[in-house]
């Protein structure tokens, strides 16, 4: 058995479902060969960043750990955006890099220094310390606030033999326990609140977390707003679902009717970076302590979500909420988002697609861009992680790689990727990855030949459009050159027809939705003020 075999065995034990990336000629080759011997799929992506994002998506979908690899130097540099995404999305992934012996300068950069600000931990493998490093890496990725870890893997180490028997290694981490004072302060605030409102975030997406939160809402008549990443923890169809929370203007009417905000797994990395203007006290309950420079938490109680929910339920007073009023407020949010346009609007694309696909697709992934406003509000989600989105980093080029990671977990149901043309241009090569893996991904590209969200911001500052025109792309032709079935649609009927053909396809497909972007400015103002 080689060190590479040992690494793969540890990954399988941690629940890793696939190894993603772009290999080089060093330790990567040993890891890929060992993965093949152990039945761990290696998925070649077109870019290293896409490999990290696909690994991130699998970690979110499975509740386990994701893994990717890169070559040394340029590969390590290229993966950075994906690692940063995992860092701010709080996703546990292990990133393996090849490394050069110290005597050589060619392609040698300091990988640990390069990733220092966006990983929780980094180390370098040695022949006699592999198990210690891997055990520590896998624990660090998941302990407390989850995130990426980096392991430098020299080629001569990965290929070296290793013993068949090992001692067990354990690492002790300092646990954050809520103080009696913190619990007492929380109980006091809960006891006097008459209309508390849950703000559910990315730290509360486990199946048990969702079940506990839904039960709390039903038993105590408490509404819940969810962040983008927590969509589905409380289903859109639930009578106590109060909409999406991002620190924007559109959710203010719900906030105004509450007298206490209760963050459950809420991480400020998810929120729009604008000053906090809410007058009600806000508390934090979740599995890790969060930064409080942005959000002025009156108290933070760090504990498991189910424990937090039990504490909240015990201390709550009778609720003054009416579920009918909550539904009115949610309906008003959708009405405000229904901004008319002069052509085929992004809202109509989402509505038509969701009406047919939301019930049959395994998941929907959403890219950064102006189309995400109607997508995150109008696409119904009923289970945690049913919508995958980059919220903390908000990177473009996310939706398609994330769809690849998700589709590899569940091959029975299609995954829908909603992306702008700017975002898809950044990762168009992953269409070929979807073809190689024969994945049922339906990519819907909102095609307007512009970086529309940036153009809107230029308009708001009365600046002339500059640097935002992409130029026309024949998306069906481009997709077809990869072997992806593709169609274009410019109205409801054409889109509905294309969706039926995409559902009938056995592999990946693409639909170019030729949209009118004239209502994007009004949509942004309706959402963010």
173 in a structural domain = no
As a whole number of angstroms, the distance between CA 200 and CA 528 comes to: 19
Phi-psi region of 366 (alpha: psi -120 to 50; beta: other; left: phi over 0): beta
Tell me if 19 sits within 8 A of 151, measured CB to CB: no
The pLDDT assigned to 342 comes to 86
**Same domain, yes or no: 503 and 355:** yes
**Same domain, yes or no: 142 and 238:** no
Give residues with Cβ within 8 angstroms of 195, minimum separation 6.
257, 258, 259, 260, 319, 320, 321
pLDDT surpassing 70 at residue 103: no
Mean pLDDT of 506-520: 93
The pLDDT assigned to 214 comes to 98
Mean pLDDT of 147-174: 77
The pLDDT assigned to 486 comes to 98
Prediction pTM value? 0.94
Q: How confident is the model at residue 178 (pLDDT cuts 50, 70, 90)?
A: confident
82 in a structural domain = yes
Residues of the chain with pLDDT > 70, as a percent, come to: 97
**Same domain, yes or no: 349 and 490:** yes
164 in a structural domain = no
Distances (CA, A) of 322 to 217, 239, 254, 258: 12, 10, 12, 12
**Same domain, yes or no: 235 and 278:** yes
As a whole number of angstroms, the distance between CA 280 and CA 282 comes to: 6
Alpha helices for 110-163 (secondary structure H): 111-115, 130-142, 155-158
As a whole number of angstroms, the distance between CA 69 and CA 54 comes to: 12
411 in a structural domain = yes
Give residues with Cβ within 8 angstroms of 401, minimum separation 6.
45, 49, 50, 51, 53, 54, 57, 82, 427, 430
Q: How confident is the model at residue 101 (pLDDT cuts 50, 70, 90)?
A: low
pLDDT surpassing 70 at residue 164: no
The pLDDT assigned to 163 comes to 65
**Same domain, yes or no: 185 and 323:** yes
Q: How confident is the model at residue 174 (pLDDT cuts 50, 70, 90)?
A: low
Determine the distance from the C-alpha atom of residue 91 to the mean position of all C-alpha atoms in its chain, rounded to a whole number. 8
DSSP 233-280: SS-TTSTTEEEE-SS-STTHHHHHT-SEEEEES--GGGS-SS-----S
Q: How confident is the model at residue 23 (pLDDT cuts 50, 70, 90)?
A: very high
Q: Of 222, 231, 218, 205, which Cα lies nearest the Cα of 261?
A: 222
**Same domain, yes or no: 185 and 86:** no
Give residues with Cβ within 8 angstroms of 272, minimum separation 6.
246, 247, 248, 528
Mean pLDDT of 186-204: 97
Domain boundary among 303, 329, 355: 329
DSSP 401-413: HHHHHHHHH--SS
As a whole number of angstroms, the distance between CA 125 and CA 31 comes to: 13
Name the more confident of 169 and 474.
Answer: 474
Classified as helix, coil or strand, 470 is coil
454 in a structural domain = yes
pLDDT surpassing 70 at residue 115: yes
pLDDT surpassing 90 at residue 100: no
152 in a structural domain = yes
| Cross-strand pairs, 282 | 261
Q: At what angle do helices 452-460 and 520-528 cross, to 10 degrees?
A: 70
Mean pLDDT of 408-436: 97
Q: What's the mean per-residue pLDDT of the chain?
A: 94
149 in a structural domain = yes
Order of strands across the sheet with 260-264?
241-244, 224-226, 196-200, 260-264, 282-286, 300-302
Tell me if 120 sits within 8 A of 141, measured CB to CB: yes
Mean pLDDT of 313-342: 95
Domain boundary among 329, 357, 376: 329
How many Cα atoms sit within 13 Å of 147 on the Cβ side? 19
Mean pLDDT of 168-184: 75
**Same domain, yes or no: 365 and 245:** no
pLDDT surpassing 90 at residue 341: no
Give residues with Cβ within 8 angstroms of 20, minimum separation 6.
42, 43, 45, 50, 51, 52, 54, 55, 66, 67, 68, 69, 405
The domain that holds 190 is classified in CATH as 3.40.50.1220
Give residues with Cβ within 8 angstroms of 79, minimum separation 6.
21, 48, 49, 51, 52, 68, 70, 95, 97
**Same domain, yes or no: 359 and 215:** no
Neighbours of 192 (CB within 10 A): 11
Mean pLDDT of 488-505: 98
Q: Environment class of residue 382 by beta-carbon count within 10 Å: exposed (0-12), middle (13-18) or buried (19+)?
A: middle
Residues of the chain with pLDDT > 90, as a percent, come to: 83
Q: Output the CA torsion sign for 306, 309, 311, 314.
A: negative
Neighbours of 480 (CB within 10 A): 14
**Same domain, yes or no: 152 and 214:** no
As a whole number of angstroms, the distance between CA 274 and CA 182 comes to: 27
Distances (CA, A) of 424 to 245, 369, 370: 26, 11, 14
pLDDT surpassing 80 at residue 305: yes
pLDDT surpassing 60 at residue 169: no
Neighbours of 232 (CB within 10 A): 20
Give residues with Cβ within 8 angstroms of 211, minimum separation 6.
none
pLDDT surpassing 70 at residue 377: yes
Neighbours of 421 (CB within 10 A): 26
Domain boundary among 329, 347, 377: 329
Q: Of 166, 171, 172, which Cα lies nearest the Cα of 9?
A: 166
Q: Environment class of residue 359 by beta-carbon count within 10 Å: exposed (0-12), middle (13-18) or buried (19+)?
A: exposed
**Same domain, yes or no: 79 and 51:** yes
Counted domains in the chain: 3
Strand intervals (E) in 436-484: 441-447
**Same domain, yes or no: 494 and 472:** yes
The pLDDT assigned to 167 comes to 56
Give backbone dihedrals phi and psi of 58, rounded to 5 degrees, phi first. Answer: -65, -40
How many Cα atoms sit within 13 Å of 77 on the Cβ side? 6
As a whole number of angstroms, the distance between CA 527 and CA 83 comes to: 29
The domain that holds 111 is classified in CATH as 3.40.50.970
Mean pLDDT of 39-65: 97
**Same domain, yes or no: 135 and 200:** no
490 in a structural domain = yes
Give backbone dihedrals phi and psi of 173, rounded to 5 degrees, phi first. Answer: -115, 145
Residue 489, domain extent = 338-528
């Amino acid at each position: 058995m080689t060190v590479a075999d040992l690494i793969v065995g540890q990954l399988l034990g941690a629940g890793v479902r696939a190894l993603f990336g772009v290999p080089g000629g060093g330790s990567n080759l040993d890891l890929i060969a060992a993965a093949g011997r152990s039945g761990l799929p290696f998925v070649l992506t077109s870019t290293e960043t896409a490999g990290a994002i696909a690994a991130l998506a699998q970690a979110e979908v499975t509740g386990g750990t994701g893994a990717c690899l890169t070559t040394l130097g340029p590969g390590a540099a290229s993966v950075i955006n994906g690692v940063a995404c995992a860092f701010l999305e709080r996703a546990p992934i292990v990133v393996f890099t090849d490394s050069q012996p110290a005597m050589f300068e060619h392609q040698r950069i300091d990988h640990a220094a390069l990733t220092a600000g966006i990983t929780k931990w980094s180390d370098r493998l040695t022949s006699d310390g592999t198990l210690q490093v891997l055990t520590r890496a896998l624990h660090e990725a998941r302990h407390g606030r989850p995130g990426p870890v980096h392991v430098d893997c020299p080629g001569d180490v990965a290929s070296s033999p290793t013993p068949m028997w090992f001692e067990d290694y354990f690492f002790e981490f300092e646990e954050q326990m809520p103080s009696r004072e913190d619990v007492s302060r929380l109980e006091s605030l809960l006891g006097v609140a008459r209309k508390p409102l849950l703000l559910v975030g990315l730290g509360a997406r486990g199946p048990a977390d969702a079940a506990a939160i839904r039960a709390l809402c039903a038993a105590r008549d408490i509404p819940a707003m969810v962040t983008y990443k927590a969509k589905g923890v409380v289903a859109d169809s639930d009578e106590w679902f109060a909409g999406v929370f991002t620190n924007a203007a559109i959710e203010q009417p719900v906030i105004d009717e509450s007298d206490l905000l209760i963050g459950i797994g809420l991480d400020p990395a998810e929120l729009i970076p604008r000053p906090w203007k809410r007058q009600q006290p806000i508390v934090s309950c979740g599995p890790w302590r969060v930064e409080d420079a942005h959000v002025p938490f009156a108290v933070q109680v760090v504990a498991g979500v189910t424990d937090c929910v039990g504490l909240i339920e015990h201390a709550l007073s009778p609720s003054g909420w009416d579920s009918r009023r909550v539904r009115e407020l949610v309906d008003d949010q959708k009405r405000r988002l229904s901004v008319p346009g002069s052509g085929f609007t992004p809202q109509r694309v989402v509505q038509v697609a969701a009406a047919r696909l939301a019930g049959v697709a395994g998941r929907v992934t959403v890219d950064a861009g102006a189309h995400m406003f109607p997508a995150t509000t109008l696409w119904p989600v009923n289970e945690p992680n049913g919508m995958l989105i980059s919220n903390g980093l908000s990177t473009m080029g996310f939706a398609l790689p994330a769809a690849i990671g998700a589709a590899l977990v569940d091959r029975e149901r299609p995954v829908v990727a909603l992306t702008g043309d700017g975002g898809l241009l950044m990762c168009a090569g992953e269409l070929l990855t979807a073809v190689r893996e024969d994945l049922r991904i339906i990519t819907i590209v909102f095609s307007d030949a512009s970086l529309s969200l940036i153009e809107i911001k230029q308009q708001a500052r009365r600046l002339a459009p500059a640097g935002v025109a992409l130029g026309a792309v024949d998306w069906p032709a481009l997709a077809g050159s990869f072997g992806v079935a593709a169609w274009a649609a410019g109205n409801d009927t054409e889109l509905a027809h294309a969706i039926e053909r995409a559902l009938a396809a056995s592999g990946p497909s693409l639909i170019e939705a030729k949209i009118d972007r004239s209502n994007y400015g009004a949509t942004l103002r309706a959402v963010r003020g």
